[in-house]
Amino acid sequence: MTRPMPETVPNIVAGQDCPAASGQTLDKLDPASGEVLCRAARSGAPDVDAAVAAARRAQAAWAATPAVQRGMLLHEVVLGMRRRSAELAAVVARETGKSPRDAQGETGGAIACGLFYAGEGQRLFGRTCQSGVPGKYAMTVRQPVGVAGLIIAANTPVANVAWKVFPALVCGNTAVLKAPEDTPGTAWLVGDIAREAGLPDGVLNIVQGYGPEAGQPLVEHPDVGVVSFTGSTAVGRMIAGKCAQRLARVSLELGGKNPLLVCDDADLDNAVRWVLASAFSNAGQRCASASRIIIFDAVYDRFRAMLLEATARLTVGPTDDDYYGPVINARQLENMLAAIARAEAQGARVLTGGQRLTGPAHARGFYLAPTLIEGADPGAEISQKELFGPIACLYRAAGFEQALALANASDYGLTACIHTRNFSRATEFTRRVEAGVAVVNAGTFGSEPHMPFGGVKQSGNGSREPGTEALDVYCELKDIYVNTDQADL
């Protein structure tokens, strides 16, 4: 039976809704209006202990369930998500302020991810290998790690849940998901759909709360065998340190400062369209957003004029007529405004935007005007620090080599894109750019759920999720040798 979301979004532990042991709650604000949207359990270490204990109790039976049957049960969860997709998308839209259409698109992406991993229950391939010994068989099989601790960001909340939960569970792990404090309802609703679909109690537990209070105890918990984290590089680095101390496996999907190159031979209309989408869609709150637009000198002035004209036509708000909505909370908005002010103080010029929108439709929401900046030094803070908002800087490059060098002049290395009609430039760029994802003639975002996503340098620790590569995050490999005795034949 479908139940309505409780007024205070609870944890789900062993299949039961429960408040934080302390009784405390946190306020979740509506980013479009600044009003309190709901409350959520403000969990701490005792709640994490209870969730991990529930996951541990459920783990042996879940691991003993054949992977094919695990996949079929996850398929039921996906069907539940599809049946309740309008409800899911409505919660995503309400919690993030993004338009209903964008929320539906994201929900569709989460469902596609779930379908992919449900099917993976029928594969979960190991390898059969050759042996150097007569009559000896050698193979590898995949086994679960145990309890997975999953921590995610709020930017695409239902997709982020799906990208972690489905691969973790199909591999036979049970999971504790620490929901983002900015999107508690989305995570709860997926958990509710999962139990309604018949996922055994304790297989997926959800803990609400703030990172340092509820996320950190999960990372430090000795019974959590694998931690998978999507969020900022600063928090990821800290999590890597904690996991290193107890030799727990950790997968880190971190930030980006992604370059998009516009060459002198590019289709400039197409490039404008993709710069807008990469820099501003989802209010720039994508790890894969483009925040550094590197333009060849020969077309710089023309491209800048075209981009400014197109940016001036964008509308901002929470409806399907708007290009993007608010940023997720007031703190993020203030960080962005302060970073823009510092960039100006250091000599950069704001070409458009740079301020909070304060008209009647935006007054109380967390809206930032689409912001384009030029003249920033490539080494300046605004060029190097991820802002996770609708802000991009323009840079000039004399030609391909200088543009590529600028693209690589970052501590991050998540995604990158080039706009060119020149095959050699496109090919060289994809080979030499320091990024986990390289794109030709489109945007810096748009990874598909069956493909491995992740970054180099400070954008991650080398793991890749989702795709079949995520199975390596959530599985132990076991070598099995079987020896036959020729005398017994």
Question: In this complex, which beta carbon is closest to ligand NAD, that of residue 154 or of residue 350?
Answer: 154
Nearer to ligand NAD (CB atom), residue 180 or residue 185 = 180
Q: Confirm or reject binding of residue 212 to ligand NAD (CB under 6 A).
A: yes
Identify the residue among 25, 85, 216, 461 touching ligand NAD (CB under 6 A).
216
Residue burial 299-317, b: 16+ Cβ < 10 Å; e: rest: bbeebbebbeeebeebebb
- Contact status: 215 vs ligand NAD (CB under 6 A): yes
230 touches ligand NAD by CB under 6 A: yes
Minimum CB–partner distance for residue 390 and ligand NAD (Å):
14
Q: What is the DSSP letter of 470?
A: H
> Least CB distance from residue 444 to ligand NAD, whole Å?
12
Using CA atoms in the order 102, 104, 107, 111, what is the torsion angle rounded to 10 degrees? -130
**184 near ligand NAD, judged by CB under 6 A:** no
Residues in 317-376 that interact with ligand NAD by CB under 6 A: none
Contact letters (x/-) for ligand NAD, 419-438, by CB under 6 A? --------------------
226 binds ligand NAD (CB under 6 A): no
Q: Determine if 259 is a binding residue for ligand NAD (CB under 6 A).
A: no
Contacts of 265 (CB under 8 A, 6+ apart): 420, 421, 422, 425
CA distance 81 to 195: 12
Distance separating alpha carbons of residues 290 and 476, to the nearest angstrom: 35
Q: How far is CA 266 from CA 30, 125, 308, in A?
A: 40, 42, 18
Shortest CB 366 distance to ligand NAD, Å: 13
Record the tokens describing residue 303, joined without a space.
């491209």
CA count, 13 A, side-chain hemisphere, 418: 30
Nearest to 283 by CA among 179, 154, 165, 473: 154
Q: Report H helices in 99-183.
A: 100-120, 157-170
Among 44, 144, 256, 354, binds ligand NAD (CB under 6 A): 256
Other beta carbons less than 10 A from residue 297's beta carbon: 13
What tokens does 172 get? 């036979």
Shorter beta-carbon distance to ligand NAD: residue 420 or 459: 459
Find where tokens 């919690």 sit. Answer: 95
Residue 449 interacts with ligand NAD (CB under 6 A)?
A: no
Indicate which residues carry an active-site annotation. Answer: 253, 287
Please select the residue that binds ligand NAD; options are 78, 103, 118, 153, rule is CB under 6 A. 153
Using the rule CB under 6 A, which residue among 17, 102, 181, 264 binds ligand NAD? 181
Considering the rule CB under 6 A, would residue 26 count as an interface residue with ligand NAD?
Answer: no
Q: Which CB sits closer to ligand NAD, 28 or 70?
A: 28
Shortest distance in whole angstroms from residue 39 CB to ligand NAD: 16
Position among 211, 318, 353, 443 found at the interface with ligand NAD (CB under 6 A): 211
Closest separation in Å from C-beta 217 to ligand NAD? 8
Work out how close the CB of 308 gets to ligand NAD at its nearest, in angstroms, rounded to a whole number. Answer: 26
**Total number of residues binding ligand NAD (CB under 6 A)?**
28
Residue of 231, 318, 466, 467 interacting with ligand NAD (CB under 6 A) = 231
115 contact partners, CB below 8 Å, separation of at least 6: 75, 78
Measured from the CB of residue 164, what is the shortest distance to ligand NAD in angstroms? 10
For 400, list phi and psi in degrees, rounded to 5. -60, -50
255 contacts ligand NAD (rule: CB under 6 A): yes
3-class secondary structure, 79: helix
Type of residue at 256: G
Site string for ligand NAD, 376-405 (x = CB under 6 A): ----------x-x-----------------
Question: Closer to ligand NAD at the Cβ: 388 or 395?
Answer: 388
Report phi then psi at 61, rounded to 5.
Answer: -65, -35
Helix/strand/coil for 460: strand
By the rule CB under 6 A, 235 interacts with ligand NAD: yes
Which window, 13-21, 211-219, 337-345, 377-385, contacts ligand NAD (CB under 6 A)?
211-219
Per CB under 6 A, does 157 bind ligand NAD?
no
From the CB of residue 331, how many other CB atoms can be counted at a distance below 10 Å? 10
Among 65, 140, 232, 468, binds ligand NAD (CB under 6 A): 232
Judged by beta carbon, residue 233 or residue 371, the one nearer ligand NAD is 233
**Choice between 213 and 264, CB closer to ligand NAD:** 213
Alpha carbon distances (Å) from 84 to 92, 102, 179, 190: 12, 16, 20, 10
Task: Please state, as a whole number, how many other Cβ atoms lie within 10 Å of the Cβ of residue 155.
Answer: 25
Give the C-alpha separation, 57 to 64, whole Å: 13
Task: Answer for the pair 332, 388: CB distance below 8 angstroms, yes or no.
Answer: yes
DSSP assignment string, 180-219 = -TT-HHHHHHHHHHHHHTTPPTTSEEEE-S-IIIIIHHHH
Q: Which residue is nearest to ligand NAD (CB)?
A: 211
Q: Kindly tell me the sign of the dihedral angle through the C-alpha atoms of 392, 398, 403, 405.
A: negative
Least spacing, CB of residue 256 vs ligand NAD, in Å: 6
Residues near ligand NAD, by CB under 6 A = 151-155, 178, 180-181, 210-212, 215-216, 219, 230-232, 235, 238-239, 253-256, 287, 386, 388, 414
